[in-house]
C-alpha cells in the first residue's frame, strides 16, 4: 500500500516535471511565431486603434487627437447603411447559393465514373487563379459590347443582334455578376471540403440505414448530413472569410459602382484610406470589417464545438 | 447504376467542366486573335486569324512582364520559406505538446488568419514607413506573415496530428530528445504535408494583390499588380494583350495545381477539418 502510493507519487512528480518541460519547449518553439504576431498584429492593431482616435495630416504626418469623433462619424455616414447592406447581401447569397450547389456537386463526385480524377483537378483550378487574372477573364466575358455571354445569348437565339445587356454597369446585374464570380471561385473549394467529409461516411453506416428501411432522402437527412456537419461549417467559414475579404473582384469588375451599388465594407475601407487618404475613418471602418469577421469566427467556433 | 442516374452525373459534370474550363478556353482564344477581330459582335468562337502578336509583345525583350515575374517569384519563395521554417515549430507545439492555454492559442492563430488585411494594412504601412521598408521585398514578406504564417500553422498542425504518436515515442525511447524526434520522425513523415503547405502558401502569395500594390508602391510590381494595372489603363485596354497577360500569369500556378492535385487537396482539407 505504502509502496503503491509512493510509486503513484513518483509517477505524479515525473508527469508534472514532464508537463512543465513540455510547456517550456512549447514556449520556445512558439516564440518566433509569437514574436512575429506581436510585432505584426498586436502592435499594428494598437496603432490602428490610436489612428482611429486621431486625425492624420497626410502631408506632414502630424497627428491630432480627436477622441471618438471618427467613431461617431459611423452613425452619420450616409453610405454606411448601403455598404453594409451590399456586404450582407453578397455574403448571404454566397453562403446560401454556395451550399445549394456544392452539396449536390460533392455527392456527384463520390460516385464512381470515368474521369473522376480529372473532375477534381477542375475543382482546384479556381483556387490557383489570381483574382487579378480572374477579373480579366470575367470582365471580358461580361463585356457588354464584345463579351462572350451576350454573344452566346445571341447565338442561342435568345437575344437580337443589337441587344446589349450591361452586366457590370447596371446596379442589380452588377451585384449579381459579382456574386456569380465569387461563387465561381468559392464553390469548388466548398465542394472539396464537403467531399472530404462525405468520403469519411462509411459504407457500413449507409448499409445499416438501408437495412433499417430508410429511403435515400431519409438517409441523406438523418445519416449523412449529421456526419458531415463539421465539413459544412468549415465550408461556410471559408466562404464567409473570402466573401468579407472580397477586394480584387470589386476593384477589377465594378470599382464599387455603378453609383454605390457594389460598394462593400472591405473595398470601402481601402478606398477611404488609400484614395481619399482618410486614415482615421478608414481605421474605424476596418474595425467594422473585423467585427463582421469575428462574428463569423465565433459562430463557427460554436458550431465546431457543437459538432465535435 | 440506372440509366437516368448516369445521365444526371454526366450532365452535372458537363456543366462543371463547361463553367470552369470554358472561360479559360475563351481567354486562350481571345489571346490568339488580332485586336480588330476581338472588337466585333457577335464574337467569333473560333479564331479566323491566329496571331502570336500579343504574346510577343508581353514576352518581348525589355517587357515589364519579366520584371514582375522576378518580383513575384522572389517574394513567393521568400514568404513560403519563412512561413514553413517558423510555422513547423509552432504547428508542432500545437499538435504534440501539452501545455496550458493550448486550445486558446490555436483559436488565436485561427482568428489572426481571419483578420481582414485592410485592418492591418494601414498601421503596417505606417510602421514600414518608419522603418524605411516601404517598397522593399523585406517589407512585403514580413507583412504577409500574419496571414500566411497562421495559415501554415493551421494546415501543418493537421498533418502533424496524422503522424502516429507511437513512432515519436519509440524515437524518444531510443534516446532522441523531443526536438530530435521532430527533426528525425515527424518532419520526414510529414514531407507530403510540408510540400502541400508550401505549394498552398506559394500560390496564395503569388496571387495576392492588395498588399503587393500598396507596399510595393512605386518601387516594384508583382504579377497581379502588373495585370490589374494593365487592365485599368483606360486608353489602351487591349483585350488581346490583357488575355495573354492573364494567361501567362496563371499558367505556372495552374500547372503546379494540376501536377500536385492530390497533395493540395489533402492540404486544403486537412487543416480545416481537424478540430
- Condensed to tens digits (0 to 9), the pLDDT of residues B140-157 reads 999 999 999 998 998 888
The predicted-structure confidence for A158-197, as pLDDT tens digits, reads as follows: 887 777 788 888 889 899 999 999 999 999 989 988 888 8
User: Which residues on chain B are in Cβ contact (under 8 Å) with A22?
Assistant: 97-99, 178
The pLDDT assigned to B129 comes to 86
**Chain B interface includes A144 (CB < 8 A):** no
Best CA proximity match to B142, nearest among B211, B71, B70, B68: B211
| A9 neighbors B84 (Cβ within 8 angstroms) | no
Question: What is the distance of C-alpha B232 from the center of its chain?
Answer: 23
Name every chain B residue with its beta carbon within 8 A of the beta carbon of A287.
119
Long-range CB pairs of A150-159, under 8 A, 24+ apart, other chains included: A150/B41, A150/B42, A151/B41, A151/B42, A151/B43, A151/B45, A154/B41, A154/B42, A155/B42, A155/B45
Of A1-5, B14-18, B38-42, B223-227, the least confident: A1-5
Structure confidence at residue A175 (pLDDT): 93
Is B138 in contact with B79 (CB distance < 8 Å)?
no
- Residue to mutate among B42, B213, B239, with most A CBs inside 10 A, is B42
Q: What is the pLDDT of residues B22-68, one digit of tens each?
A: 899 989 988 888 877 778 778 888 888 888 888 888 887 777 888 99
Contacts of B258 in chain A (CB under 8 A): 121, 124
Angle A167-A173-A179 (CA atoms, 0-180°, nearest 5)? 105
Partner residue facing A289 (CB), from B26, B94, B119? B119
CB–CB contact A135 B42 (8 Å): no
pLDDT at residue A1 above 70? no
Nearest-by-Cβ selection for B261 from A111, A124, A189: A124
Partner-chain contact B269 A196, CB within 8 Å = yes
Q: Would you state the pLDDT for residue B225?
A: 92
Q: Is the per-residue pLDDT at A6 higher than 60? A: no
* Residues contacting B115, CB < 8 A, separation 6+: A41, A290, A293, B146, B147
Which residue stretches of chain A are H helix?
2-37, 43-52, 69-76, 80-110, 116-128, 131-141, 148-155, 171-200, 203-211, 216-219, 225-227, 229-244, 248-253, 265-274, 279-307
User: A54-68: per-residue pLDDT in tens?
Assistant: 887 766 667 788 888
pLDDT-based confidence at residue A19 (cuts at 50, 70, 90): low
Is it the case that residue A15 has pLDDT exceeding 80?
Answer: no
What is the average pLDDT across A23-38?
A: 87
Q: Which of A22, A32, A115 sits opposite B89 (nearest CB)?
A: A32
Instruction: For residue range A255-281, list pLDDT tens digits in order.
Output: 887 888 899 998 999 898 888 888 888
**Most confident segment among A175-184, A245-254, B6-15, B41-50:** A175-184
- Tell me what ipTM this predicted complex has: 0.83
Using pLDDT thresholds of 50, 70 and 90, give the confidence band for residue A306: low
Q: Give the pLDDT of residue B130.
A: 85
Shortest distance between the Cα of B190 and any Cα of chain A, in A, equals: 18
State mean pLDDT over A34-45.
88
> Above 80 in pLDDT, residue B270?
no
A289 touches chain B (CB under 8 A): yes
- When the pLDDT of each residue in chain A is averaged and rounded to a whole number, the result is 83
**pLDDT reported for residue A14:** 58
Determine whether the interchain pair A119/B206 forms a contact, defined as Cβ–Cβ distance below 8 Å: no
Closest approach of B33 to chain A, Cα-based (Å): 14
Model pTM?
Answer: 0.86
Whole-number Å distance between alpha carbons of A287 and A279: 12
Q: Are A83 and A265 in contact (CB under 8 A)?
A: yes
Cβ contacts (< 8 Å) between A163 and chain B: which residues? none
Which of A50, A55, A140, A301 best tests the B interface by mutation, with the highest count of B CBs <10 A?
A140
Give me the mean pLDDT over the B257-263 stretch.
Answer: 85
pLDDT tens profile A223-242: 788 878 878 888 888 888 88
Amino acid at each position: 500500500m505504502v509502496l503503491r502510493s509512493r510509486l503513484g507519487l513518483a509517477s505524479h512528480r515525473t508527469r508534472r516535471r514532464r508537463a512543465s518541460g513540455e510547456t517550456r519547449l512549447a514556449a520556445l518553439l512558439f516564440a518566433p511565431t509569437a514574436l512575429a504576431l506581436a510585432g505584426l498584429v498586436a502592435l499594428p492593431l494598437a496603432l490602428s486603434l490610436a489612428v482611429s482616435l486621431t486625425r492624420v495630416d497626410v502631408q506632414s504626418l502630424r497627428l491630432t487627437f480627436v477622441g471618438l469623433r471618427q467613431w461617431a462619424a459611423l452613425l452619420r455616414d450616409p453610405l454606411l447603411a448601403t455598404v453594409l447592406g451590399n456586404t450582407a447581401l453578397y455574403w448571404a447569397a454566397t453562403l446560401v447559393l454556395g451550399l445549394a450547389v456544392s452539396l449536390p456537386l460533392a455527392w456527384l463526385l463520390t460516385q464512381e465514373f470515368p474521369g473522376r480524377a480529372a473532375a477534381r483537378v477542375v475543382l482546384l483550378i479556381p483556387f490557383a487563379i489570381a483574382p487579378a487574372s480572374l477579373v480579366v477573364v470575367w470582365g471580358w466575358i461580361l463585356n457588354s459590347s464584345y463579351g462572350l455571354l451576350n454573344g452566346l445569348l445571341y447565338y442561342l437565339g435568345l437575344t437580337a443582334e443589337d441587344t446589349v445587356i450591361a452586366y457590370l454597369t447596371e446596379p442589380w446585374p452588377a451585384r449579381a455578376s459579382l456574386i456569380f464570380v465569387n461563387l465561381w471561385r468559392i464553390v469548388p473549394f466548398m465542394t472539396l471540403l464537403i467531399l472530404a467529409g462525405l468520403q469519411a461516411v462509411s459504407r457500413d453506416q449507409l448499409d445499416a440505414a438501408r437495412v433499417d428501411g430508410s429511403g435515400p432522402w431519409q438517409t441523406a437527412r438523418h445519416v449523412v448530413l449529421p456526419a458531415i456537419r463539421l465539413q459544412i461549417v468549415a465550408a461556410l467559414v471559408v466562404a464567409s472569410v473570402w466573401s468579407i475579404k472580397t477586394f480584387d473582384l470589386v476593384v477589377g469588375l465594378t470599382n464599387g459602382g455603378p453609383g454605390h451599388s457594389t460598394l462593400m465594407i472591405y473595398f470601402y475601407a481601402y478606398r477611404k484610406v488609400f484614395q481619399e487618404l482618410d486614415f482615421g475613418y478608414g481605421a474605424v471602418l476596418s474595425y467594422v470589417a473585423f467585427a463582421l469577421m469575428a462574428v463569423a469566427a465565433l459562430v463557427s467556433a460554436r458550431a465546431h464545438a457543437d459538432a465535435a | 447504376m440506372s440509366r437516368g442516374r448516369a445521365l444526371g452525373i454526366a450532365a452535372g459534370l458537363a456543366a462543371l467542366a463547361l463553367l470552369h474550363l470554358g472561360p479559360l478556353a475563351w481567354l486562350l482564344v481571345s489571346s490568339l486573335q488580332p485586336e480588330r477581330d476581338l472588337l466585333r459582335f457577335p464574337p467569333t468562337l473560333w479564331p479566323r486569324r491566329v496571331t502570336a502578336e500579343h504574346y510577343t509583345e508581353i514576352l518581348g525583350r525589355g517587357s515589364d512582364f519579366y520584371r514582375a515575374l522576378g518580383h513575384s517569384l522572389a517574394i513567393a519563395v521568400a514568404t513560403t520559406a519563412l512561413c514553413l521554417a517558423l510555422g513547423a515549430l509552432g504547428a508542432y507545439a500545437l499538435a504534440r505538446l501539452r501545455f496550458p492555454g493550448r486550445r486558446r492559442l490555436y483559436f488565436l492563430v485561427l482568428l489572426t488568419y481571419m483578420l481582414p488585411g485592410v485592418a492591418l494594412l494601414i498601421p503596417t504601412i505606417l510602421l514600414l514607413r518608419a522603418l524605411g521598408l516601404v517598397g522593399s521585398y523585406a517589407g512585403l514578406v514580413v507583412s504577409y506573415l500574419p496571414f500566411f504564417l497562421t495559415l501554415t500553422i493551421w494546415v501543418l498542425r493537421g498533418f502533424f496530428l496524422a503522424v502516429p504518436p507511437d513512432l515519436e515515442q519509440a524515437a524518444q525511447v531510443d534516446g532522441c530528445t523531443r526536438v530530435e524526434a521532430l527533426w528525425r520522425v515527424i518532419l520526414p513523415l510529414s514531407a507530403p504535408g510540408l510540400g502541400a503547405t508550401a505549394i498552398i502558401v506559394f500560390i496564395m502569395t503569388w496571387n495576392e494583390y492588395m498588399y503587393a500594390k500598396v507596399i510595393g508602391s512605386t518601387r516594384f510590381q508583382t504579377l497581379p499588380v502588373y495585370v490589374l494595372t494593365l487592365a485599368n489603363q483606360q486608353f489602351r485596354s487591349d483585350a488581346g494583350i490583357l488575355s495573354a497577360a492573364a494567361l501567362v500569369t496563371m499558367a505556372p500556378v495552374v500547372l503546379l495545381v494540376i501536377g500536385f492535385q492530390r497533395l493540395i487537396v489533402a492540404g486544403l482539407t486537412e487543416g480545416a477539418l481537424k478540430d
